[in-house]
């Protein structure tokens, strides 16, 4: 059985973790298959075949419960370090996908599972969802980017509170803090509505918007503005920019090609 299921339709890629009986607990094999899948998805994005990536689960009870602790306790310290590196590569690979990424969070998302969601651009959950970086209760810390990505979303002080206390956030709390963009009883319906809307936008515009925001957020303002300008210039001679202007004048829907 594949531990990751992938479907591509109408420029929307849906990737679902499929270790349902273990609530998608991140063992070595799942991390490896997930990471390899992202390599193929990255290529499809660059070729223009994928314009949006949705990441979720085949199990509505859990987006991802976190590390597979039953496997982890059997590991040597060296193997733990290797696993941690692989999990960080996985999260970084999600972050590096050049198209908008949406985490569809049904059920729980703890530890490494929450770190996967934090590596996405947008997050949708159910009203019943719970999430958090709960590692300090196990005498460890988040190790796949959680301390850094959460702090960039909610700020240093709030991130310290949530991580120090191993706080389990409700959907309402996560939405209030700006961690989750939307809470919906049918998160896949909402995510697909967003995805379909995103496919109507200029693919290059989305790509360079993402590059400008993600790449500039930690730069001094003047450097961030320079990055924004560089990204804008990359669009000047594109077919899509001209198509956007012409379609507006002609009062019709644009036909963007991603070039």
Told to judge if 135 belongs to the known catalytic residues of this protein, a careful annotator would answer yes
DSSP conformation class of 136: G
Q: Which of 62, 106, 115, 146 is catalytic?
A: 115
DSSP-assigned beta bridge partners for residue 18: none
Q: Which of 112, 113, 145, 258 is catalytic?
A: 112
Told to judge if 67 belongs to the known catalytic residues of this protein, a careful annotator would answer yes
Q: Which of 25, 62, 67, 109 is catalytic?
A: 67
- For the four alpha carbons of 171, 217, 258 and 236, in that order, the dihedral sign comes to positive
Cα separation, 217 vs 235, in Å, equals 21
Q: Which of 25, 103, 119, 135 is catalytic?
A: 135
Told to judge if 185 belongs to the known catalytic residues of this protein, a careful annotator would answer no
Q: What token pair was written down for 118? A: 């934090």
Told to judge if 151 belongs to the known catalytic residues of this protein, a careful annotator would answer no
User: Long-range CB contacts (< 8 A, 24+ apart) of 76-84?
Assistant: 83/28, 83/31, 84/143, 84/144
- Residues annotated catalytic, as ranges: 67, 112, 115, 135
């Amino acid at each position: 059985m594949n531990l990751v299921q992938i479907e591509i339709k109408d420029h929307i890629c849906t990737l679902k973790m499929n270790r349902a009986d273990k609530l998608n607990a991140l063992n070595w094999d799942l991390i490896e298959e997930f990471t390899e899948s992202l390599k193929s998805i990255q290529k499809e994005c660059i070729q223009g075949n994928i314009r949006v990536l949705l990441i979720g689960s085949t199990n509505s009870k859990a987006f991802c419960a976190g590390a597979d602790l039953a496997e982890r306790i059997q590991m040597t310290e060296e193997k733990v370090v290797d696993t941690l590196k692989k999990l960080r590569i996985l999260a970084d690979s999600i972050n590096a996908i050049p198209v908008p990424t949406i985490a569809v969070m049904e059920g729980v998302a703890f530890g490494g599972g929450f770190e996967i969601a934090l590596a996405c651009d947008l997050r949708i959950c159910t009203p019943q969802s719970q999430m958090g970086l709960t590692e300090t209760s196990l005498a460890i810390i988040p190790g796949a980017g959680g301390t850094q990505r959460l702090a960039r979303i909610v700020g240093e002080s709030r991130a310290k509170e949530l991580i120090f206390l191993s706080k389990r956030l409700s959907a309402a709390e996560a939405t209030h803090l700006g961690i989750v963009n939307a809470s919906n009883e049918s998160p896949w319906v909402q995510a697909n509505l967003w995805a379909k809307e995103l496919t109507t936008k200029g693919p290059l515009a989305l790509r360079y918007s993402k590059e400008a925001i993600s790449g500039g957020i930690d730069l001094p303002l003047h450097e961030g503005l320079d990055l924004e300008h560089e990204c804008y210039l990359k669009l000047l001679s594109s077919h899509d920019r001209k198509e956007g202007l012409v379609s507006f004048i002609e009062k019709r829907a644009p036909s963007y090609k991603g070039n």
